[in-house]
A and B are shown apart, each in its own frame.
Chain A
Amino acid sequence: MEEKFQDFIEAVSRCEKEVGKAIVGQKDCLRQILLGLLIDGNVLLESVPGLGKTQMVKSVAKALSLSFSRIQFTPDLMPADVTGTNLIVKEKEQNVFRFQEGPIFANLVLADEINRATPKTQAALLEAMQEKTVTAGGKTYVLPEPFMVLATQNPIENEGTYPLPEAQLDRFAFKIQVDFPNLLELKEIMELTVTNRRPELEAVLTGEEILEMRRLLRDVPMAEPVKEYALRLVLATHPEREDSPEITKTYVANGASPRGAQTIFLAAKARAVLEGRYNVAFEDVDFVAAPALRHRLLPGFSAVSEGVSMDFVLQEIKKELEKSR
């Protein structure tokens, strides 16, 4: 068992190293993407254009020996363009309907600029993201395992976009904020992108390994105080609760769902293992709390008008809860 965990840690570490060849910095970002993959979740990457979101997803796909497809979401993209459709094909001199799988039938699906597609098309992803199945023509097709949707969106260009509905957002395990690189990182990015240096990425993690890791992770123990802390964190995002912090009551319109708690638990377990531990610590919860909850909180009027981000609210909640842990 110990060897398995060690192999697991080494594999993830190798993967990070491989992706690191093509992506400069963004270590937390990459770690969160891998955590999303390990906990069987989907990830939404958000940043201004040009920060390497798409590049990062592509690099991750290369570092994993998994099938990869990319869907560029546009306003005229139809659900069938994503999921696939029944086509009439000639088989043995007969015309029959055959289901033509859409690009979603891959292990890793990059839904680029997801908020540019219409809600109808966005909704086409719901079943796939949650149930890992696609239903077309009254028949349900199972998606390949492991399956993961990595979506990107641009937070500033809102014209001609369709903000993701809450139900859709909730299906993303993480919403990852891709930060702007610092000077050193930027310098390195230039070295990589404006020269003939083309890093070759090696696939270091197979689908089976990932599935095995997912099973292992679920056995990682979590102490009661840590569990309580994670759950109180989720509960504290609910403004309707009397014992919620004042900041929640002021800035949050709607709190995180139990799916948020599930994500925190699983992701914290995965993170603990990646840190070389066989138990979850408070710091694991802290690490995964923001990406797991930020998109699950619905900002209130005050938050929007005052420009208060949900990250700030979560930070304040954590500070409040840290005292009692």
Chain B
Amino acid sequence: MEKRELLLFIKKVQNRIFLCELARIFLWYLGAGFGIGILINGVSLFMPVYGAQKIALGMILVSVILGAFYGILRFPGKKKAARLLDKKGLAERVSTALEGLDEDSAVSRLQRKDTLERLKDFPIKEKFPFLMKKDIRGYFVLLGLAVVFTATAFWPSKAREEAVRQHALREEIKEELEKAEELKKLLDTEEGLKKFLKDSEKTELKSQIDQSVKELLEAGSSRELSKAKSRLEKKVSKALEGAETEGMSAKAASLLKNYMPKLEMAESQDSQDGQEGGQNGQNGGQDSKADSTGSENGQNSQGNGENQNNSGNSEGNRNGSENGGGSNQEGSGNGNKSGQNGAGKGSGNGKSGSGKGAGYNYGSSQGVEKKDSANRGEPEKVTIPGRSVGKDENVSGKGDKGSSQYIKGTQSDGFYGEEVSYGSVLGDYSQAAYEKLKEGNIPAGMENVVKNYFDGLNE
């Protein structure tokens, strides 16, 4: 009986000590985690470290897990619990009783009885508190660390912006390198290309690609990356001038299209059809019988792909709508080459899409994905006239007929317009501006003004 009582009490104390210890270890490790986190955050304020906050949070999490693990390992044994109990004024009674648990001498029984009597009113919670007074300074330090951590985590700095920029650049470079590698493989494996390239030309192109890969790797800014990309595109376009996708695998065609937007696509008709629907919207409240022909619109579609970042909006089915007028006319069309127009990477994302979109100008069969990207964040939709014309008059409200525009097709008159996201428009115009900057069409003194203007719009 005495034995059971004693063991039960010790068990209680064991659990209590374990919880107290766990709490203390947890807090200490949390403190250590905060310390490391602050260090990482602090470094990221002055040096570009991408995802520093996430790393810091991760370190805290790791610290806490380690602490919990260590705490579990430190579950006190009976003897330890007895000794800790003894230290609370029990003068080694519990340790002695525990050791002499199986002793049956008169003195041992007396000793156990005495111990149990002492334990009867022993205030476990009071003697083993979760928060110890002696640690109070530590708790304040912990609180301070938490505050400093939060502050350093959200403190804006140029280094942080730079880290994000560098990361995006690295990702883009990585993507381009993969494409370049795929292209190299394609030159060897794709049967459809063999008729366009002799062996010597192939070798030459490969070495040019290798050279471009080096340039891509050395690119330290998006500008350098764009230049490297342009050079590679030019090299590929030049080498494969006149090539057709006919006889090529879809993958190869798609890849080549990345580098050669003007590449003749075997399924171009489908694309035109798809575009047709997108062009049938009506603008400005005027009815328009958009009887766009496949060929014309197809051409327009292609134009879009070349010159505009069309943000993947020309999906197979499209509804053109207009709120300004009395009647709405739906236009629809089917197409499976939507990718031609949809390659604009960041078209829907405003900031990142503008000027940096990897698919700028080239479109790809992955355009649909870009559309998805555009839908993120529910960007504002605007209806714009067809931009294939590429003139300012196309901009809504600039024309002498209000915000609408008519495109004359061979089969029908149809309003050539589309509904795209605001971000897409912004991206396209920004991209066009950056392109002009690259081409050197803007006076040197104004380059920064233009760049800052569009950067500002994108922020």
Contacts and interface: CB of A to CB of B under 8 A. Distances in A.
Nearest to A4: B106
Contacts of A277: 91, 93, 114
Contacts of B105: 219
Nearest to A279: B96
B92 A282 contact: yes
Interface string B79-112: 0000100100001110111011001011111110
A281 B92 contact: yes
A226 interface: yes
A281 B83 CA distance: 11
Contact of B107 (A1, A225, A281): A1
Contact of A223 (B95, B107, B109): B95
A124 interface: no
Interface string B302-332: 0000000000000000000000000000000
B99 A2 contact: no
B107 to A, nearest CB: 4
Contact of A225 (B83, B91, B100, B110): B83
A222 B96 contact: yes
Contacts of A2: 110
B106 A1 contact: yes
A278 B83 contact: no
A221 B91 contact: no
Interface in A267-325: 277-283
A221 B96 contact: yes
B110 A278 contact: yes
Interface in A188-209: none
Given A277-B91, A281-B91, A283-B91, A223 B96 contact: yes
Contacts of A221: 96, 99-100, 103, 107-108, 111
Nearest to B97: A279
Which of B92, B95, B106 counts the most chain A CB atoms within 10 A? Answer: B92
B92 A279 contact: yes
B107 A226 contact: no
B110 A223 contact: no
Contacts, number: 55
B271 to A, nearest CB: 83
Contacts of A216: 107
Contacts of B108: 221
A48 interface: no
B86 to A, nearest CB: 8
Which of B86, B107, B114 counts the most chain A CB atoms within 10 A? Answer: B107
Which of B91, B103, B105, B111 counts the most chain A CB atoms within 10 A? Answer: B91
A220 B97 CA distance: 11
A279 B103 contact: no
Interface in B98-138: 99-100, 103, 105-111, 114-115
A159 interface: no
Contact of B92 (A1, A5, A219, A223): A223
A297 to B, nearest CB: 26
A224 interface: yes
A282 B96 CA distance: 12
Contacts of A226: 92, 95-96
Contacts of A219: 105-107
Contacts of A1: 106-107, 109-110
B99 A224 contact: yes
Which of A5, A221, A280 counts the most chain B CB atoms within 10 A? Answer: A221
Contacts of A224: 95, 99
A5 B106 CA distance: 11
Contacts of B95: 223-226
Nearest to A277: B91
A220 B107 contact: yes
Nearest to A285: B92
A225 B86 CA distance: 11
A220 B114 CA distance: 13
Contacts of B100: 221
B102 to A, nearest CB: 12
A278 B92 contact: no
Nearest to A217: B107
A100 to B, nearest CB: 43
A280 B107 contact: no
A280 B110 contact: no
Contacts of A279: 91-93, 96-97, 111, 114-115
A220 B106 CA distance: 10
A222 B96 CA distance: 6
Given A2-B110, A223-B92, A224-B95, 11 more contacts: A1-B110, A221-B100, A221-B108, A221-B111, A222-B96, A225-B83, A225-B92, A226-B95, A277-B91, A278-B114, A281-B93
17 contacts: A1-B106, A1-B110, A5-B110, A216-B107, A219-B105, A221-B108, A221-B111, A222-B96, A223-B92, A224-B99, A279-B92, A279-B96, A279-B111, A281-B92, A281-B93, A282-B91, A282-B92
Interface of A: 1-2, 5, 216, 219-226, 277-283
Instruction: Please give me the 10 A-B residue pairs with the lowest Cβ-Cβ distance, nearest first.
Output: A279-B96, A281-B91, A278-B111, A1-B106, A223-B95, A223-B96, A219-B107, A281-B92, A278-B110, A221-B100
